[in-house]
Chain A
Amino acid sequence: MRQLSRRAALAFGAGGAALTIVGWDRPAFAAAKEAADEIAKFTGGKTAAKAKVSIELPEIAENGNTVPLAVSIDAPMTAENYVSEVLVVAEGNPNPGVATFHFSPMSGKAEASTRIRLATTQNIVVVAKTSKGEFFTGQKLVKVTIGGCGG
């Protein structure tokens, strides 16, 4: 019988390691608390309304190392009332703060896109702040999976 070479075993291992899968004993609450702190800092403790935020993210990540993210806030962008900042937080990442986007009335629309790295299956929380001091929020669950058995 042909033996599987060491290289093949390594190749499999390397592929496996590229995606960190959900551990059933991962202390998720620790990261979630850090994320909550991050959000509280951004809002100054105010409650954000669950509205106006749309998040474009895959349900299941094709590659946890580079997940395409687009956010847009359905709110006015006038000199008197505009979205000034948008915070993106990944609840399950070792460093939950992913990005803060800054806008001005000149931006026309509060939208941005980037690629983010996700260590594991988790919620991505987006919080928008307006020049009037209002806060809006939305979130989406992105699953990071081993894959390979669909069909």
Chain B
Amino acid sequence: MKNLFAIAVVFMLSICAVMAQNEKYTQAMTEGIQALNSLDKAKPDVKTLQDISNRFERIASAEPKEWLPKYYAAYSNVILGFVGASLTEKDQYLDKANVLLKDAEGILGKPNDELLVMKAYQSQIHLAADPMNRYQEDGAKFSEYLEAAKAANAENPRIYYLEGSNLFFTPEEYGGGKKVAKPFLEKARQKFSAFKPQSAIHPDWGKVETEWMLSQSN
């Protein structure tokens, strides 16, 4: 009887510990995501972003079986790759994002649609850092990753958001422009309205940006 009781206690304790750990994870992730969402979208602060990226990396170190911390750390580094001061600095962040995405892929066993979208996003920002010399290679990678993401989950709204934003920022003379981007952004809007993230900490970004671009496209 005493034994049984002891077992029950140990069992309960371990559940409590797991729950506490889980709670800690969700809380840390939620805080990180909130920090990301409260960034100034037009001009994100480098130091804040570095801090956010560091937070996610710490979570990743504590939770080696979770892919989301790596994913968000990569996301932060892609944004850093956009706001970095020099080409060298931008590339360092973007290279780091690639490493983190590779780690996340390793945790999952194979890339899912969100990782592929993030890879496409990374290629887009890598291209933007030196467009004259990179459009060929990165342009091809961008479409390749998005195609793969579509094959994995055509309902992911971020695929269409990235397609739209890419055209949105491409000058009309090169086959881009707001007009051309609009149908993609509208498709993204439609997919966003139907989209339900798996949990509160799963990827759910891009909607605000889509709405902003659509407001500019009229």
Q: Do A and B come from one complex?
A: no
Mark A residues whose CB is within 8 Å of B: none
